[in-house]
């Protein structure tokens, strides 16, 4: 599986996202479309970005009863996206149902990636509100193992966790890692960050990079720098 840089297209409207992608005349970056853009621009923005030749990671983090997730995944799969995700907390039955829903008539399907614990969830909140007593690092790995057992392709995690996830779930289990910053750039609200080069050394399979590219003075140069550091 080739390493790639995914640009987090966190824009409020379809027009803003397409205007940003207009910058890219030579390469066709893999893009992540999340809740904000999808809820504002819907299926048409997926089709428009696909028509321009980009791969799409549709980041909607589904979590519901197995049958509902299965039917919803069938709808997303028909949009011809390349990667989708869900919460591993939905249980293995939900993850297996999601995989069934994603399968297309021609036998292909998007990659399916699990969110383990959100990075906004602290050890204390997990213990006091989610009532989970285990150390959060172990919870992340156990949820990743559940995802692997359900047949998923990988997890979203920090680059700093990529090695442990591969150790527990196998080298071909994908790690899709946000929290990437240039050595000389702003960290912003991210806490546990790594540079693209360090993410590569740590074994990330895909890095998800938002503001270091979308807010850069020259987004194409910033994207190329990520690719040069991460893919080489
Ligand atoms: O702008 P930035 O590079 O921080 O964007 C990272 C992207 O990855 C955002 O879309 C953010 O929502 C997403 N993400 C994250 N941390 C997670 C899961 C998703 O930063 N644990």
pLDDT in tens, 99-158: 999 999 999 999 999 999 998 899 999 999 999 999 999 999 999 999 999 999 999 999
92 Cβ partners below 8 Å, 6+ apart? 146, 149, 150
pLDDT attached to residue 44: 98
* Probe residue for ligand 1, chosen from 178, 181, 206 as the CB with the greatest number of ligand atoms within 8 Å: 178
The arithmetic mean of pLDDT across residues 192-216, rounded, is 97
Spatial separation of the C-alpha atoms in residues 96 and 99, rounded to whole Å: 5
Strand locations in 39-82 (E): 56-62
- The four Cα atoms 180, 82, 79, 26 give a dihedral, to 10 degrees, of 70
The overall average pLDDT reported for the chain is 97
Catalytic residue among 28, 50, 55, 61: 61
Spatial separation of the C-alpha atoms in residues 130 and 204, rounded to whole Å: 28
SS3 30: strand
Lining ligand 1 with CB less than 6 A are 8, 10, 34, 118-119, 156, 178-179, 190, 208-212
The arithmetic mean of pLDDT across residues 201-213, rounded, is 98
Share of the chain above pLDDT 90, in %: 94
Model confidence at 92: pLDDT above 80: yes
Spatial separation of the C-alpha atoms in residues 79 and 223, rounded to whole Å: 26
pLDDT attached to residue 231: 97
The length of the chain in residues reads 232
Model confidence at 220: pLDDT above 90: yes
Nearest CA to ligand 1 atom 21: 119
pLDDT attached to residue 190: 83
pLDDT attached to residue 227: 98
The arithmetic mean of pLDDT across residues 182-195, rounded, is 90
Ligand 1 centroid–CA 105 distance in Å is 32
pTM of the prediction? 0.96
Burial of 142 per CB tally in 10 Å (0-12, 13-18, 19+): middle
pLDDT attached to residue 198: 98
The answer to whether residue 61 is catalytic is yes
Atom of ligand 1 nearest to the CA of 120: 21
Ligand 1 centroid–CA 32 distance in Å is 10
The arithmetic mean of pLDDT across residues 84-90, rounded, is 98
Model confidence at 1: pLDDT above 80: no
The arithmetic mean of pLDDT across residues 164-180, rounded, is 97
Of 69, 61, 68, 57, the C-alpha closest to 117 is 61
The arithmetic mean of pLDDT across residues 9-37, rounded, is 98
The DSSP element (H or E) to which 34 belongs, if any, is strand 30-34
């Amino acid at each position: 599986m080739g390493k790639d840089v995914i640009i987090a297209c966190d824009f409020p409207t379809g027009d803003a996202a397409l205007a940003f992608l207009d910058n890219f005349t030579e390469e066709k970056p893999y893009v992540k479309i999340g809740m904000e853009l999808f809820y504002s621009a819907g299926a048409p923005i997926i089709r428009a970005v696909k028509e321009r030749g980009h791969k799409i990671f549709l980041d909607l983090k589904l979590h519901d009863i197995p049958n509902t997730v299965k039917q919803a995944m069938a709808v997303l799969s028909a949009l011809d996206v390349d990667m989708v995700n869900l919460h591993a907390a939905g249980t293995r039955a939900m993850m297996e149902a999601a995989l069934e829903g994603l399968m297309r008539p021609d036998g292909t399907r998007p990659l399916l990636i699990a969110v383990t614990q959100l990075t906004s969830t602290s050890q204390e909140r997990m213990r006091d509100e989610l009532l989970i007593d285990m150390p959060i690092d172990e919870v992340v790995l156990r949820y990743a193992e559940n995802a692997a057992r359900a047949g998923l392709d990988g997890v979203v995690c920090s680059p700093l966790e990529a090695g442990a996830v591969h150790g527990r779930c196998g080298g071909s289990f994908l790690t899709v890692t946000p929290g990437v910053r240039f050595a000389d750039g702003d960290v912003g609200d991210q806490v546990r960050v790594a540079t693209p080069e360090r993410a590569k050394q740590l074994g990330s399979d895909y890095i998800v990079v938002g503001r270091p590219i979308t807010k850069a003075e020259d987004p194409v140069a910033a994207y190329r720098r990520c690719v040069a550091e991460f893919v080489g």
